[in-house]
Copies of this chain bind each other. A is one copy, B any other.
Amino acid sequence: MINGQRDLAVDVADRGLNYGDGLFETIQIRDRVPLLWDRHILRMRLGAGRLKIPFDDALEAAYLADFTQLIAASKPANAVLKLLLTRGITQRGYKIEHTLPVTRISRLSSAPDMTRLQREGIAVVLCATQLARQPLLAGIKHLNRLEQVLARSEWDQPDITEGIVCDTAGHVIEGCMSNLFWIKDKVLYTPLLSMSGVEGVVRNLLLALCKCDGLLEIREGFYVKQALLNADEIFLSNSIFDILPVISIQADYSEESANFTPVDFTLGPYTKALQQLLQQHYLKEASV
C-alpha cells in the first residue's frame, strides 16, 4: 500500500529512489499481531527526527490502518510487515521542501520459518566490507544500505546465514541484517552503535530485559574481532528471527591469507535463557 492506496509502484521522482532519502522498519507479525509495534514506531520517529522528515501521530495511525487492511486480506497469520517512509517527491536537487508530503509504504509478505535455526544455531562468516564511521546516520534504519548489500554479496553458500562486519577502525559492529552479542565470563557484550550500525529494536529490548532480569552484566563498547573469537557464546538478533545462536565462524574474508581455521561455539545456556526471556516478553505484551 502506498499512501493508503493499494498500489505497487512509486513515482520515479521519489526521493527514496533518487537519494535513499528515508527510513524503513521490518516488523514480525505473529498470530496477526505486530510484535513490538511501539518500539518500531519510536525508532522510525527518532530516525525521522535525525533526517528532518516530519512524523506525527496521524502518520503512525495511518501505518496502523494500512496494517489492519493488509492483515485482514492475508491468509497466513504469521508474516513480515515492511514499513517505508520517504521524504516524498521533488523534481531535482538535494534541497528539502519542508511542506512536502511524505511517501508512506506498507508491505506485507510471508514469514520465513526460523524455528530450526533458532534451535540449532547458524554458521557465519566475517566480511571484508567495512562500515564507514558516520555518527549522523549511525543507529537509525535509513535507506542508504549499499554497505550491507556489498557485505552480503561476499558469500553465496546456502549454509552460511549471516556475515559479521567491522567498521573502518577495525571494531566488530553487527551482522548484515542483525545485531551482534557475545557472552564471555558471564558478561554480555554488544558493540556500541554510535558511529555505525543499526540499533535494532530487539537488540535494545534484549539489553533492557537483561538489565531487569539481572541475568548478565552488560557491556556496550568498541571491541576488536579477537574478542568475538574468544567468546563463550555468540548470538545475533533481529525483528524477524529474534535470536539466532552462532555455532560456527566459517571464514574471515578480511584476511589476505586463507589461513583462517573455522571456530566452533557451543549453543550455551545464556543464549537459551535470553531466547526464553524474549518469548516471555512477547507473550506478556500480547496479553496486555
Q: In the complex, are the beta carbons of B132 and A133 less than 8 A apart?
A: yes
Chain A residues 137 to 196 lying within 8 A of chain B, measured CB to CB, are: 137, 142-153, 168, 176-177
Question: How many residues of A are in contact with the other chain, CB < 8 A?
Answer: 55
Chain A residues 102 to 123 lying within 8 A of chain B, measured CB to CB, are: 105, 107, 109
Name 22 A/B residue pairs within 8 A (Cβ), A-sorted: A7-B12, A8-B12, A9-B9, A10-B12, A15-B149, A18-B24, A18-B84, A19-B20, A19-B143, A19-B145, A19-B148, A20-B145, A21-B145, A51-B149, A94-B149, A94-B151, A94-B177, A95-B152, A96-B153, A132-B137, A137-B147, A144-B144
Given contacts A9-B12, A137-B147, 18 further A-B contacts (CB under 8 A): A9-B10, A10-B17, A13-B107, A14-B17, A17-B84, A18-B84, A19-B20, A20-B20, A20-B146, A21-B149, A51-B150, A94-B149, A94-B152, A94-B177, A95-B152, A133-B133, A136-B150, A144-B145
A2 within 8 A of B: yes
User: Which residues from chain B contact A107 at a C-beta distance below 8 Å?
Assistant: 12-13
Q: In the complex, are the beta carbons of B109 and A92 less than 8 A apart?
A: yes
